[in-house]
Amino acid sequence: MRGRSRGNVKGNAMMRTPLSKVRGLGSAKDGTEHFWRQRITALANVPLTIFFVVLVIALQGGDYASVHAALSSPFVAVLLLLFVLVGVYHMKIGMQVIIEDYVHHELSKVLVLAANSFFSAVIGLASVWAVLKISFGG
């Protein structure tokens, strides 16, 4: 202890961040989980997007009755619902990362994160409603 100067003690104390500065910041202990959710939804989107593109190409030029019949199939409806839900969730968590990284004002960040959640919910619910309405013959 005798060999240390007061400057080192003060320097070490200055390196500590006061609680008031880090409140609401720092690790929330869910970074790894968020990372894996983003990667898993991206992986799930690959075959779902291929299915969607093939479906759109197959239905191109079809009349209303043939398109409605194809979309009324339970298999097609379930895959379309998965495509929408996984895609919207992937979009939401991707935008959340961008917002958290680039919006620095705390109130703005909270408002934009809330808007991201509401936008994703509205798009997801509207898309699910449309697919279910077509699937059940509406």
- Over residues 116-131, the pLDDT tens digits come to 999 999 999 999 999 9
Q: Using one digit for the tens of pLDDT, what is the confidence trace for 84-119?
A: 999 999 999 999 999 999 999 999 999 999 999 999
Q: Cα separation of 79 and 74, whole Å? A: 9
Amino acid in the structure at residue 89: Y
pLDDT digits (tens, 9 = 90+) for 37-83: 999 999 999 999 999 999 999 999 999 899 999 999 999 999 999 99
Residue with tokens 């997801």: 124
Q: What percent of the chain has pLDDT over 90?
A: 70
Mean pLDDT of the region 1-8: 52
Length of the chain, in residues: 138
Locate all alpha helices (DSSP H) within the chain, ordered by sequence.
6-15, 19-22, 31-59, 64-72, 74-102, 106-135
Distance, CA of 51 to CA of 71 (rounded, Å): 13
**Cα gap 133→77, rounded to integer Å:** 10
CA atoms of 116 and 53, how far apart (whole Å): 26
